[in-house]
Amino acid sequence: MTKGTQAFGKRHTKSHSLCRRCGSRSFHNQKKTCAQCGYPSPKTRRYEWSEKGKRRKTTGTGRMRHLKSLPRRFKNGFREGTVAKPQKASA
């Protein structure tokens, strides 16, 4: 048997499927772990030797629903539930 052209026709099974956490096709079906994000491990897979990989997944690449409003709220001392005083009309 050869390892080349003829053997490629026999490849019809998938070893990786979609990961429910990161969405990439990196979830190994037999190992039951994701090669990209490390699911089902609670911590996301991340290594110091992969600078570009860290850049793709770091804070600021998503919506930042909570973090993007923090500087504005910090500036006002995290006040909540107050109403601004009505400004006096200038004559």
Q: What is the distance between the alpha carbons of residues 81 and 41, in angstroms, rounded to a whole number?
A: 39
Do residues 34 and 20 lie in contact, with contact meaning Cβ atoms separated by under 8 Å? no
In this predicted model, what pLDDT tens digit does every residue of 19-42 receive, in sequence order? 999 999 999 999 999 999 999 999
Q: How many CB atoms lie within 10 A of CB 27?
A: 23
* pTM of this structure: 0.72
Q: Which among 36, 45, 3 has a CA at the least distance from the CA of 17?
A: 36
Q: Kind of pairing, strands 27-28 and 16-17?
A: antiparallel
In this predicted model, what pLDDT tens digit does every residue of 40-55 receive, in sequence order? 999 999 999 999 999 9
What 3-state class would DSSP assign to 33? strand
